Chain A
Amino acid sequence: AQTVTQSQPEMSVQEAETVTLSCTYDTSESDYYLFWYKQPPSRQMILVIRQEAYKQQNATENRFSVNFQKAAKSFSLKISDSQLGDAAMYFCAYPGGATNKLIFGTGTLLAVQP
C-alpha cells in the first residue's frame, strides 16, 4: 500500500532559526514526484516545493529545501530563516497509483515564535 507518514504532529521554531520537518513514504514505483504543501488557516493548499525522484539533486526554493533519500524513502523539508508567515500546517504528499491521486501525510503543525 502507498502511504505517507509524518511523525511530528507539532513543531516549534524561533523566528530566524532553522527547522526540519520529517516525512517518510512507501511506494514500489521507481519514478515519481514528492511534494510539500503548506496549509494556512485560509485552508488553501499551497505548493511549497516539489522533488522528482529520478533527480539526485535536492530541490531548493528560496528558504525551503529538501533532503531526499530515495533508498530510505525519506523526504524532509528544511525551512531556513523562519518567518512568522511560515506558521501553518505542512503536509507531505505523493501522487500515487494509476491515477496519480495525491496521498497525504497527517500533517505537521508548525508554530513560529517571535
Chain B
Amino acid sequence: EAGVAQSPRYKIIEKRQSVAFWCNPISGHATLYWYQQILGQGPKLLIQFQNNGVVDDSQLPKDRFSAERLKGVDSTLKIQPAKLEDSAVYLCASSLDYRTGYGYTFGSGTRLTVV
C-alpha cells in the first residue's frame, strides 16, 4: 500500500512570500489532516477534512493560511504571507474515517524555513 505522499520535502522562503504544500493521502482514506510541528514541540492540528468538507479548522490562522481538498482526494495547504514563526514541519496524515479514532498514517512532512 502506498503511503501518504507530500511535497516538497524542504522549502526556504523569505517572510511575506507565499508557499504551498501538497498532500496525496492513502487511497480510500476519507479523512485528511494537516499538522504543524514547531521545533521541540508535538504536532498541532491545523485543519481536518472529511472527504472534501472541513470538520475542524479551529486552530488554522485563517488570515494567512488556507487549505482545500477538491474532489476529496489530494489537498493543498497555502500560507500567504509567511511569517518567521511559520517555520516548522508541516505533516499531512490520513485515516479511513475519523470516527474510528485510529488508523492514522503520516507523510514525511515538509520542512519550511522562513527567513
Q: Bound state CA distance, A12 and B42, in angstroms?
A: 20
User: Do residues A104 and B98 form an inter-chain contact, with CB atoms below 8 A?
Assistant: no
Chain A neighbourhood of B107, CB < 8 A = 44
Chain A neighbourhood of B109, CB < 8 A = 43-44
Q: Bound state CA distance, A47 and B41, in angstroms?
A: 18
Question: How big is the B interface, by class?
Answer: 20 to 34
Contact of B42 among A32, A43, A46, A105 (CB under 8 A): A105
Chain A neighbourhood of B91, CB < 8 A = 43, 45
User: Do residues A101 and B56 form an inter-chain contact, with CB atoms below 8 A?
Assistant: yes
Chain A neighbourhood of B102, CB < 8 A = 33, 35, 50, 95
Q: Bound state CA distance, A45 and B3, in angstroms?
A: 12
Query: Is residue A99 contacting chain B, with contact meaning CB distance below 8 A?
Result: yes
Instruction: Contacts A95-B101, A99-B48, A99-B56 given; indicate if A104 touches B108 (C-beta within 8 A).
Output: no
With both chains docked as a complex, state the minimum distance between the C-beta of A99 and any C-beta of chain B, in angstroms: 5
Chain B neighbourhood of A43, CB < 8 A = 89, 91, 108-109, 111
Query: Is residue A25 contacting chain B, with contact meaning CB distance below 8 A?
Result: no
Chain A neighbourhood of B48, CB < 8 A = 99, 101
With both chains docked as a complex, state the minimum distance between the C-beta of A3 and any C-beta of chain B, in angstroms: 11
User: Do residues B108 and A44 form an inter-chain contact, with CB atoms below 8 A?
Assistant: yes
User: Do residues A106 and B41 form an inter-chain contact, with CB atoms below 8 A?
Assistant: yes
User: Do residues A104 and B43 form an inter-chain contact, with CB atoms below 8 A?
Assistant: yes
Query: Is residue A11 contacting chain B, with contact meaning CB distance below 8 A?
Result: no
Q: Bound state CA distance, A91 and B57, in angstroms?
A: 23
**In the complex, what residue of chain A is closest to B95 when comparing beta carbons?**
A100
Q: Report 20 cross-chain contacts, Cβ distance below 8 Å, ordered by A residue.
A: A4-B42, A33-B101, A35-B102, A42-B108, A43-B89, A43-B91, A44-B107, A44-B109, A45-B91, A45-B104, A45-B106, A46-B106, A47-B104, A50-B102, A93-B42, A95-B102, A99-B98, A100-B101, A102-B43, A107-B40
Which residues of B are at the interface with A, using a C-beta cutoff of 8 A?
33, 35, 40-45, 48, 55-56, 89, 91, 93, 98-102, 104, 106-109, 111
